[in-house]
Amino acid sequence: MSETVTKTLQATLATPTAGKQQRLQRLLDTYRTALHDAFDNRADTMSAVNDVVTPYDLPYQAKDALKSYVPKLRSTYNAEELDDEHPLRLVNRAAKFDYSEGREHAFVWQAPQPGRGTNFWIPLRINPEQESLWFDLLSEDAKAGELRLQRHRTSWELHVTVEYSVEEPTEPDNPTYIGFDVGESALITGCALKRDVPRKPMLVSGSRARHLRKEMFTTLRRLQSRDAAEWRVDGRFDHYQNALTDIVEKASRQAVEYAQQFENPVIVLEDLSYIRERLDYGKFMNRRLHAWAFARLQGRIEDKATEAGIRVEYVNAAYTSQTCHACGRLGRRSQQAEFVCPHDDCHVSEFQADINAVARTVFWRAARFRWNL
């Protein structure tokens, strides 16, 4: 049995000629003007958006994307105003690519332009780790979704959403449950549960990500206070976001490789839906915690696990950090990194708090398996 997986392919346009750069910039500017016009006219149906954007000198792939996107701005995203830096959105009919080993940049994209016979090809610098999916896109083993084109100060970046099928992992007869917890001090805490005892715990430090987030916050605030040029602020923001993305990719890969060392692995994650509503540690801690994309890291673990054929399940996150993994009763965290079970009849006295929380999460899922809950 197979399931559909969605992923975003990323490529940088090889430096366009001056003429192509002007045409791309004109296309992006016209798109943004049409987007603001449709939004300001409160167009909330595809037909209403069509009436607004029809006169604009845009390719049909951009107009169709606007007709789909604009009605969602208020109904889905609750937008009250628009940022001026929206990317150019294009429907999947703009996903026309070609490949040739004889070129310096093997992959090229046909950039759409308004009018007949005006499109042009432009080379792409793809992410090498995504090369197989680019080939799947060419062979139609992967299906293209929306495309987004954005200009940064010195480059153009293309994102292509793709859908493809993978074999859905099945629950093994004798599973080994491996739990992962994502957090602030420890980026990822993981452990397997054997005979209800945590085995081979792993810890990925969050110090680098925490340092980057703090540095990003102070740097951007300083630049804004000095009324720095917008391109300079954007450049620093992109720098930090790219660095954090790299950390997410490496940490999620490490987590899946850890799970693969066990027989019949099943990954267990906490359901972090509504985590922003549940957490309230005061303004300072909320800003730090919410700046870190917990769900983003979990999502990349799930993506990589699915590709590796490992099943992923979610359990309720409530009280895992306060509950003893051995006896199931509430304990206390005497220090942030230390869990204490105060019950005399429990063999656990002190335990690393994050590992205890992960072990408790895994125990709940293992119990559900054993008791068919």
354: helix, strand or coil? helix
CA dist list (Å): 366 to 154, 271, 348, 355: 51, 16, 19, 16
CA-based radius of gyration for the chain: 24
pLDDT in the model for residue 152: 80
pLDDT in the model for residue 284: 41
Record the tokens describing residue 124, joined without a space: 């792409």
In degrees rounded to 5, what are phi and psi of residue 170? -105, 160
Q: All domains of the chain, ordered by start, with CATH?
A: 2-167 (no CATH), 176-371 (3.30.420.10)
Residues 6+ apart with CB under 8 A from 219: 236, 240
pLDDT in the model for residue 240: 80
In degrees rounded to 5, what are phi and psi of residue 30? -65, -40
pLDDT tens, position by position, 251-294 = 999 999 999 998 888 888 876 554 433 334 344 434 444 445 56
pTM: 0.58
CB 177 within 8 A of CB 268: yes
Low-confidence ranges of the chain (pLDDT < 50): 274-291, 318-321, 325-329, 333-337, 339, 343, 345-355, 358-359, 361, 363-373
Of 353, 6, 51, the closest CA to residue 166 belongs to 6
CB 11 within 8 A of CB 156: no
CA dist list (Å): 275 to 179, 247, 290, 291, 292: 18, 22, 9, 12, 12
pLDDT in the model for residue 37: 96
Chain centroid to CA 216? 19
